[in-house]
Structure 1
Amino acid sequence: MLQEILKHRTTVLLCAGAMVLLPQCNVMATSAQAASPQLQTLFSDWRTFATPEQRDGAPDYDVKALSHKKDGLKRMQKRLAALDRTGWTTEDDIDARLIAAEMNGLDFDLRVRRPWARDPGYFATIFAEESDVPAHEGPSADTIDLFRYSYPLSPQAAQDLATRLSGVPVLLQRARGWLAKSNTADLWKYGDREFRRQEKVLSALLDGSLKMRTLEGQKAATLEGAGPQVRDAAQKALIATRDFADWIEAEAPHKTGPSGVGKANYDWYMKNVQLVPYTWDEQVSLLRRELERAQASLRLEELHNRDLPQLKPVDDAVAYRKYATTKMQEFTDFIIKSGLVPDQPYYRAAMAAQTLDYTPPDERNFFLKVTALDPWPLYSHDIHWTELARIKDDPNPDPIRRGAPLFNIYAARSEGFATAFEEIVMQAGLYDHERRGRELVWIMLANRAARGLASLYVQANQMDLATAGRFHATWTPRGYSDPNNALVGFEQLLYLRQPGYGTSYVTGKLMLDQLISRQAHDAEAAGRPFDVRTTFAGIASAGIVPWPLVEEALLPAKTLATAP
């Protein structure tokens, strides 16, 4: 989640790559093929239908529009169920399961989450920086991605942006009515935050100071020369955004009800939408275990390193940038030479673009306290950006898996892989000559387990967000996490708004462990050599889809049927 980590910068907002398939490793790995015509047609129709209905240039969540969605969803689900599956390949089955999960996501929104009626933050729609995952983290009524435009704006782009921005005041005015009966205390108490962010983005866009983080690195946005229409639309969107934030803040003290979806709904969502095979109770146990493992491993690592000097931050901007650049080059060389990613120019460029700059001590959040000592733990998580580079430069041949699944269904696959990669490169030898850096890897894992565990209690309505933030910070070692830091509040709010996201870093990591274990067991039982790099090759070819679908692509059916 690089965009949250980098909020300290002067910007206003502010996974791995396709692996080489090793011929000596005869481990099952397949490449996704173009989807069958019937599935492609259904997928295209589904994605068109899943887009919110529009009225007067803005998304519409009135009763009539929602009724259309409910009726249309039933028809879509019947179409999917009625497909003739004679002769289907494994790849066809994977695509169908992915489409079904997306349909279940809309069903869950219509029945349970209902963000248009419960979550004020759902109506923040303007984004300046690119996410490090395939889509925006968390739900949004619409997305106006400023980073996707080229600046200065062409006449056509200026017209398009003006049209999009003109819908913002319309949407926010209607939202007040849709939210009138909402009583979700935490979603309201923290609900103005996204609009304060959106307000800053629009202000900076108007005054020409907006800087944006993207796959290619930082770029500037300006309306200079774009004409009065887009500037007027941006100004009206700014006023509407500010007024909406003030309205949320004024209404929040009157909200007293729960905000989490509850255990039963959470379990249904994990099983049928996210395709994560763990219930709420199982996730509590798993995250507690990972938290304990990370804490214990840290203390043993400290014992191992007791004769080594402590890491010290580089507290000079020029020296730090040089240090961070060197560390990025060393990291990229390591993952390429070890065969974890192929030596593709766009992979190298994607990593280099995320090279860190210096942050003063009083502006450091949890991640920046870590990177002040050593950027490698976060650079390891930045393997995300190579996946985005692959989507852009070497897209999956299957259109159903080419982009991001709806409803953040990519979460455990994407965030879990990136989290696992932190430990993978450590175990592969990255820190062999800088052993103190291993301590930071365990601290990062402890933080992710603690915040994910807190998010589970919030979803079950056993904690409010403030309590979750304190829990999250208390169980992060060395006092690196401050419950009053904006990052902590941002993360816990995101995990409330998007069930399963807070746990996805750990659950996804555990599912990758499971895949490696099963492939290694199969290879050993068959007397074949096993190389984990082949597993990564298969993961890349399968696409950014939930882990059970990756397993279906890479494991024989008998393994899936008999696995422990």
Structure 2
Amino acid sequence: MRLSTLLAATALTAASLAAGPAVWAAPHEAHAPNKPPQGAGTHADLIELFDGFRGWRDTSNASGMIDHSLAATNAQRAQLRIFQDRLKAIGPASWERAQQVDYLAVRAQLDQQDFLLNVTKPWARDPGYYIDQLQRRTYTDLPLPAAERDVLVQHLQAVPAYLAQARVNLDAMAADYADLAIHNLTHGDGVGHGMPYRAVEPAGLIGWYDDLAARAATQQPDLAPAIQGARQAVVDYRDWLLEVRPGVTAQAGVGRKAYDWFLTNVRLMPYDSNQIVDLAQRELERTWAFYTLERQRNRDLPELELPRTADAYHEQLAASDALIRKWLVDEGFITVPDFVPQTWQEMGFNAPWVVRRDGPMFWEQIMYRDVSPDHLHATIPGHRFDGHMARRITHPIRAHISDSGRTEGWGLYVEETPLQLGLFDDRPRTREFIYVFGLFRAARTIGDVRMQRNEMTVEETMNYWKEWTPFLDDNVARVDAAIYLRRPPGYGMSYTMGMFQLQKLLVDRARQLGDDFVLRDFHDYLMTAGRLPVSLLRYELTGYDDEISQLWAHTPLSEIDLTAD
């Protein structure tokens, strides 16, 4: 379908927005809302503030590594307060609905930075933060031209001082974070997020420095001194962590009160953490019931086998990609503009063919048997498609925001929704895999909340997930626990809860429009409105204010007593 079709659909959506909610949708309007703040300032002032905030937010030095000295961090806190004070002077009460949405989206971005600077503080609490800053450079392809070689040498020579400063910064280290960092310094994660393929995966960050040194020995020998100096600094950092680890007892989660504040003010979720656990537990039970019933239904069918060769896997991938693309058009699911890559090779895919000594890990156990569940989530109409659409957004605020509830919620939504629409009616074993993914996402939601509320450790979370998720292995469980503990809070719960919010928005819009509802128009709106928190999209699309009204009464982080947990 052509871009002109997409634009026409977007125009139709805009017209429906202007028309506002239908009269029979009044129950959503009955709530007496908290009002948007009054004040001076225009939407143009908001854009100017956000532009300045974005330009200031990243403070990298010449080596490409971020300065987290106390002086630099305090300077960031002071500058953030200036942006927050400017925002307080802006009042969106008389603005159009879409502009009010922009205001709340910007406020959430400032609140997220506030939380990073004053609560999560990874440079002070998480020694793995510094590993993340260093490891990607070790993937560098050699040989390098002179200018790029000089940049790499500058980076490598900065590592000893960077890690020396890390020891000063890490004055509030948490036990789970320390254990994860020690593990990742000397062990491969077995998952390979963004890593180049190696037949034998290097043993953590130290192993990747060895890999870089071995390649440099034959391809660019003059790099050897800088590589060895950086490697030794990393070894010394590991030895320091092992030495201090017995005295590290702090918990890694942010605590219940901070987590709930973050859910409301940054994620803009209409649920607190207790409600999220209850909803996720119900989803875990529902999905396990459907998985059990699907296994019963398919009991006389052969299990899907792992392919034996890359060619066999790629043939299956090509067939699944063609099936999904045709189905999206035939079903009227979403507009696929001409600028979206037309082949799976151009679009990319999530799981390259890898031969591992210990056999496929969790994701590969599913994807190699049938790639289509993950292809829906990660490729089309999921993340890669979503990314291509987002890059066409030119809005000065929305083009620069990507909320995980919207992005990961969409990824999970486009796994189960095609299942319900019949895409896999003739592929019964594939339906089981959709439910396996759903089980992991629901279990991760509960693990996310309980780790952040300091009710479960990483090891306890890994064991809990493995109890509920077929095929799940230690490496994937550990990597995911680390991701959802170490990222801004609420990322792990955003898959299931984001899907719930999108399903609720689907219900609202279908009931609001009645016979005029068109599923493709609904999905096209999501692709063109910006990847904002779903509560904001719901207000913009339907005009329903029952969720958004709870967000106007804003309590700054500085006024929250986080010691009350």
> Does the alignment reach a TM-score above 0.5?
yes
SS at match of 1:311: coil
Question: C-alpha displacement at 1:232, in angstroms?
Answer: 5.4
SS at match of 2:160: helix
1:80 corresponds to: 87
Shift of the 306–561 alpha-carbon distance from structure 1 to 2, 3 Å rule, reads: same
Q: Is 1:545 matched up with 2:532? A: yes
Aligned residue type for 1:516? L
Question: C-alpha displacement at 1:469, in angstroms?
Answer: 0.5
Q: Give the TM-score normalised by the residue count of structure 2.
A: 0.79
SS at match of 2:358: helix
Question: C-alpha displacement at 1:83, in angstroms?
Answer: 2.8
Decide which of 471, 475, 482 is 1:486's aligned counterpart: 475
Shift of the 380–529 alpha-carbon distance from structure 1 to 2, 3 Å rule, reads: same
1:378 corresponds to: 374
Distance in 2 (CA, whole Å) between partners of 1:452 and 1:290 is 10
Shift of the 354–158 alpha-carbon distance from structure 1 to 2, 3 Å rule, reads: same
Question: C-alpha displacement at 1:282, in angstroms?
Answer: 0.7
Question: C-alpha displacement at 1:74, in angstroms?
Answer: 1.5
Q: Is 1:191 matched up with 2:191? A: no
Aligned residue type for 2:326? D
What does residue range 133-144 of structure 1 map to in structure 2 within 5 Å? none
Aligned residue type for 2:478? G
Decide which of 316, 319, 344 is 1:326's aligned counterpart: 319
1:502 corresponds to: 492
Kept after mapping to 2: 8 A contact 1:270/1:276? yes
Kept after mapping to 2: 8 A contact 1:192/1:249? yes
Question: C-alpha displacement at 1:166, in angstroms?
Answer: 4.1
1:401 corresponds to: 398
RMSD: 3.4
1:114 corresponds to: 121
Aligned residue type for 1:366? F
Shift of the 371–397 alpha-carbon distance from structure 1 to 2, 3 Å rule, reads: same
| Structure 1, 382-391 or 291-300: larger mean CA deviation | 382-391
Distance in 1 (CA, whole Å) between partners of 2:158 and 2:96 is 44
What does residue range 81-480 of structure 1 map to in structure 2 within 5 Å? 81-83=88-90, 85=92, 88-126=95-133, 153-179=144-170, 181-196=171-186, 197-208=204-215, 228=222, 233-338=226-331, 339-349=333-343, 351-354=347-350, 356-357=352-353, 359=355, 362-382=358-378, 383-391=382-390, 394-405=391-402, 410-477=403-470, 480=471
Distance in 2 (CA, whole Å) between partners of 1:413 and 1:198 is 32
Distance in 1 (CA, whole Å) between partners of 2:5 and 2:301 is 35
Distance in 2 (CA, whole Å) between partners of 1:427 and 1:560 is 28
Give a deviation string over 1:493-543, Cα, whole Å, max 9, x none. Answer: 12111221111111111111111111111112xxx4212221111111111
Distance in 1 (CA, whole Å) between partners of 2:483 and 2:178 is 13
Aligned residue type for 1:380? L
Shift of the 418–19 alpha-carbon distance from structure 1 to 2, 3 Å rule, reads: farther
Distance in 1 (CA, whole Å) between partners of 2:263 and 2:86 is 24
Shift of the 295–368 alpha-carbon distance from structure 1 to 2, 3 Å rule, reads: same
What runs of 5+ residues in structure 1 fail to find an aligned partner? 1-16, 129-143, 210-221
2:6 corresponds to: 20
Shift of the 92–24 alpha-carbon distance from structure 1 to 2, 3 Å rule, reads: closer
Kept after mapping to 2: 8 A contact 1:186/1:465? yes
Aligned length: 500
Kept after mapping to 1: 8 A contact 2:63/2:154? no
2:34 corresponds to: none
SS at match of 1:348: coil
Aligned residue type for 1:536? H
Shift of the 152–415 alpha-carbon distance from structure 1 to 2, 3 Å rule, reads: farther
Bigger radius of gyration: 2
2:191 corresponds to: none
Q: Is 1:555 matched up with 2:542? A: yes
Shift of the 561–449 alpha-carbon distance from structure 1 to 2, 3 Å rule, reads: closer
SS at match of 2:456: coil
2:508 corresponds to: 518
SS at match of 1:502: coil
Q: Give the TM-score normalised by the residue count of structure 1.
A: 0.79
Kept after mapping to 1: 8 A contact 2:13/2:525? no
Shift of the 281–375 alpha-carbon distance from structure 1 to 2, 3 Å rule, reads: same
Kept after mapping to 2: 8 A contact 1:453/1:503? yes
Q: Is 1:41 matched up with 2:48? A: yes
Shift of the 61–343 alpha-carbon distance from structure 1 to 2, 3 Å rule, reads: closer
Shift of the 319–195 alpha-carbon distance from structure 1 to 2, 3 Å rule, reads: same
Kept after mapping to 2: 8 A contact 1:29/1:535? no
Kept after mapping to 2: 8 A contact 1:380/1:421? yes
Give a deviation string over 1:75-96, Cα, whole Å, max 9, x none. Answer: 1101112136486443433332
Give a deviation string over 1:230-285, Cα, whole Å, max 9, x none. Answer: 77555543333333234324432332232211111110011111222221101110
Kept after mapping to 1: 8 A contact 2:389/2:528? no
Kept after mapping to 2: 8 A contact 1:412/1:505? yes
Distance in 2 (CA, whole Å) between partners of 1:490 and 1:53 is 26
Kept after mapping to 2: 8 A contact 1:40/1:399? yes
| Structure 1, 20-29 or 182-191: larger mean CA deviation | 20-29
1:12 corresponds to: none
